[in-house]
Structure 1
């Protein structure tokens, strides 16, 4: 288990480091294990997001070109039943691959927005059970997604083990989410569940996982639940009405949905 972090123990020098680099240490509790990573928020137009996808896209293009050439040379194979079955098995993947370039063009045309950047590498979130391991990795490596921020070189020089002290807002107890939801409406902890949705969205975006993003996207049942929790926390008359609205949500269905999100996050974690 990772060592317990205590925001009150942070020194002025530690606060200065994180404020000046615009990065924060994050502690994630997942099931029986927990660990530390780093997160920053940057404007999307300052990040070379397309760079990581260049090689896979080229590979896909070359592969598709080769298949097209084969199809032209042997058109009679198109009528083979086996080929039709294979095509029928993967329509969604083919559509997704074809749509990727269009989505990137749309992203370039869209207004810049603030987006999360984590210590991720090759589609995996790097989680370190001990602060010492996290600091050693940061100082010795820049082959990961967080290295694209301008302040990374400065962070490598300055960060120390004592600086891996997470504030309460950056500590996420995802291991408690499902049990809390299953406990029923009277036991739900809005702050716990709001924070879970926050980090879930961030990680879904950073890991480019459409399933996680979709589960927490605007209009989804989990997002509607999150919005209701936020109204409850705001209090007042609207908060009282929101508490009544919460009782209309199926606790077991909410727990099942969150269990799926957390399972997908676990699948994308690389423990160190």
Structure 2
């Protein structure tokens, strides 16, 4: 089973591996199960599919039914208004320029740092045993994490002893709903901040719009997350944030988080 937060201490060699490959092992606790996966952060323009122009959709011809017994031909067409002004070629030039700008924006979108997990066909691969994770990585490259430049090096160097997670990379999502339902006095900001962090990462990596929307800027869960961060920072703003927390609806927050965790669970593929 996955190690707890008091698990093995990382060796200097393990730290060197993760630092040089810019990958980290992640420990996830989800309900009755827990296990390990891998996560990296990379610039979006270094990953497959970056800066691809959208293919134009073929225009569909409207099937217009002609009135029975009547056939309109060129002689029946309504005559053009001879007094109508000629179209200005500059208008068409402006439209073409705007369309070109839109295509260029799609191609030249500003690169951003994005999370990449051990995901395959819309599923997050999570391994209950460190040895199983290492065996899979060494034998497979048909998943999303294989797109990073350092993957071949990771395959060569990774051992089971290296699957020792930093405390910041251990996410106890199984405790989130119970903690929220316990009332504001018992809320653990660090637990809930980390849950929002990995939730956003997984929503992006799994391309799940529902998870993304639940934690998007301006959403109730995002507002709660921001308040927790202010509380952790302390000071005068932290005291005001604590007052705001008292007005939060803990039951609604728990229900919302239960939905997010259920969606994450739906996209997890557990391995040995």
Distance 1:106 1:138, change over 3 A: farther
TM-score, normalising length: structure 1: 0.80
2-side partners of 1:229 and 1:141: how far apart?
A: 40
1-side partners of 2:49 and 2:170: how far apart?
A: 26
1-side partners of 2:38 and 2:234: how far apart?
A: 32
Correspondences of 1:188-227 after superposition (within 5 Å): 188-227=187-226
Task: Please name the residue that 2:138 is paired with.
Answer: 139
2-side partners of 1:106 and 1:211: how far apart?
A: 26
Tell me, yes or no, if the aligned pair for 1:27 and 1:166 is still in contact at 8 Å. Answer: yes
Task: Give CA-to-partner distance per residue, 1:100-140, whole Å, 9 cap, x none.
Answer: xxx99866432111100000000000000000000000000
1-side partners of 2:240 and 2:17: how far apart?
A: 43
Distance 1:46 1:241, change over 3 A: same
Tell me, yes or no, if the aligned pair for 1:6 and 1:165 is still in contact at 8 Å. Answer: no
Q: CA deviation at 1:2?
A: 2.3
Tell me, yes or no, if the aligned pair for 1:232 and 1:238 is still in contact at 8 Å. Answer: yes
Task: Please name the residue that 2:24 is paired with.
Answer: 24
In structure 1, stretches of 5+ residues that fail to align are 77-102
Tell me, yes or no, if the aligned pair for 2:35 and 2:127 is still in contact at 8 Å. Answer: yes
Structure with higher helix content: 1
Correspondences of 1:161-240 after superposition (within 5 Å): 161-240=160-239
Tell me, yes or no, if the aligned pair for 1:7 and 1:167 is still in contact at 8 Å. Answer: no
1-side partners of 2:175 and 2:36: how far apart?
A: 17
Tell me, yes or no, if the aligned pair for 2:43 and 2:111 is still in contact at 8 Å. Answer: yes
In structure 2, stretches of 5+ residues that fail to align are 67-101
> How many residues align structurally?
235
TM-score, normalising length: structure 2: 0.80
Shift >6 Å, 4+ stretches: none
2-side partners of 1:135 and 1:191: how far apart?
A: 29
Tell me, yes or no, if the aligned pair for 2:44 and 2:50 is still in contact at 8 Å. Answer: no
Tell me, yes or no, if the aligned pair for 1:3 and 1:130 is still in contact at 8 Å. Answer: no
Tell me, yes or no, if the aligned pair for 1:174 and 1:262 is still in contact at 8 Å. Answer: yes
1-side partners of 2:162 and 2:172: how far apart?
A: 21
The reply on whether 1:14 has 2:18 as its aligned counterpart is no
Tell me, yes or no, if the aligned pair for 2:117 and 2:144 is still in contact at 8 Å. Answer: yes
Task: Please name the residue that 1:118 is paired with.
Answer: 117
Task: Give CA-to-partner distance per residue, 1:41-78, whole Å, 9 cap, x none.
Answer: 01111111359x99xx99xx7xx99xx69x85x979xx
The reply on whether 1:38 has 2:38 as its aligned counterpart is yes
Task: Give CA-to-partner distance per residue, 1:135-157, whole Å, 9 cap, x none.
Answer: 00000000000000000000000
2-side partners of 1:147 and 1:187: how far apart?
A: 41
Task: Please name the residue that 2:81 is paired with.
Answer: none
